[in-house]
Structure formats: structure tokens, C-alpha cells
Amino acid sequence: MVKKIALFGGSFNPIHNQHIRIIKRLSKDKIVDEVWLLPCKKHAFNKNFAAARHRIKMIKLAIKNIKNVKINRAELNSKGTTYTINTIKKLKSRYSHRFFWVIGSDILYEIKRWNNHKELLKEIEFIVFKRKGYHLKVIRGMRIHKRFNYKENNISSTEIRKRAKEGKSLKGLVPLCIERYIKKEGLYK
């Protein structure tokens, strides 16, 4: 059986409430059969991350009670810098599912910087969530399966890491189990 799979890539450094709301929305609205989270190993634009084992553990804690959500380690198991186009091709060669790439509307403004972005636009359809301050820009050649006009405030992983470093509360930004894990492991200090 061919399933519809939302591929949700990111650093998940850490996974936060906005990620979780998106995952739940995709499942609740039955847009797809499953959501696969793809934590990246190394960011193409050279951002630093907490160790993969910590990010995986936080994702597992966050999705524990959400059905039809999995972690896919395709990018973590790759060598060197991983590019979205290569990940998609790899997954399409292994599975006969119909894949969709999940992005925020902020990505519409930088997608032309992505490796082989024209080929990427031909290779996969997109599910786009509007982020505050970023209009749903039209990209020539991009096939959009579904748009969500999300009116939630943006949550920034950068802000979460900054607050964690300063010892401030992360209430409302991440689930309590994630806040406890960050403190216990001394992440982002």
C-alpha cells in the first residue's frame, strides 16, 4: 500500500511546541498517513547542534504519545553534509510512498540557496505552514500540496537555546519533559 508521508526535516535543536503543533495538525487533518521526522546531521549552512543522541532523545520524548510519527535517521546516517535533494532521492529509491516535504513560509525566501533547488522542486511536493512575518510567497515550479495559514506565534530554537543558557524558564516553548531533559543534560550552556 502506498502511504502519504510528510517528511519534516530540521535540526530539532531542540524540538519545540511549534514543531509538535505542526505534527499534530498533519495527523489530525489526515493530510498524510504518517509524519517522518528527519533530524539533520550537519546543517548545510554550518549551524552547530547538540549531539544527535540528545536531539533524538528529545524527539522521542516529545512524540511519545502522538500516533503515526516516526524518526527517520537517513540524514543522521549519511556521510558528510546532507542535502534535502539527496535525502529525498534516497527515500524514494527505498520506498514506494508518496512523499511531501514540510516547510515554514520562511524557507520560501531561502529555498533558492538550497543545493539543486530546481531539481528539488521537480522531485517533491510541499506542505507549507505560514510563519509570522513571512508571506506565502509563490515559487515558480514549486508544487504545493497544502498550505496552512497558521496564526500561532513563532517559536525560535535560537531563543530557546539562549533562554536555556541563561537558566530561564522554557515554559510554553517546549514540553515540560524537554525542559527537564535540557536541564538534566546541561544542554545549551
For the chain, the three-class secondary structure string (H helix, E strand, C coil) is CCCEEEEEEECCCCCCHHHHHHHHHHHHCCCCCEEEEEECCCCCCCCCCCCHHHHHHHHHHHHCCCCCEEECCCCCCCCCCCCHHHHHHHHHHHCCCEEEEEEECCHHHCHHHCCCHHHHHHHCEEEEECECCECCCCCCCCCEEEEECCCCCCCCHHHHHHHHHCCCCCCCCCCHHHHHHHHHHCCCC
β-sheet bridge partners, residue 129: 104, 148
pLDDT of amino acid 70 = 97
Sequential pLDDT tens for the chain (189 residues): 899 999 999 999 999 999 999 999 998 888 999 999 999 987 555 567 899 999 999 999 999 999 999 999 999 998 877 899 999 999 999 999 999 999 999 899 999 999 999 999 999 999 999 888 888 888 999 999 999 886 666 788 999 999 999 999 999 999 999 999 999 999 998
- Look at residue 150 in the predicted model and tell me its pLDDT: 67
CA dist 101 and 67 (Å) reads 19
Question: What's this model's pTM, rounded to 2 decimal places?
Answer: 0.93
Domains annotated on the chain, with CATH: 4-153 (3.40.50.620)
Q: Locate cell 502511504: which residue?
A: 3
Angle (CA) 45 63 103, round 5°:
35
Single-letter code of the amino acid located at 159: E
pLDDT (0 to 100) of residue 43: 59
Give pLDDT, residue 151.
Answer: 62
At 149 the pLDDT is: 81
Give dist(CA 59, CA 14) in Å, integer. Answer: 8
Q: What is the pLDDT of residue 79?
A: 85
pLDDT at 12: 96
Residues 163, 169 contacting (CB under 8 angstroms): yes
- Owner of C-alpha cell 500516533: 67
Residue 52 near residue 82, CB atoms below 8 Å = no
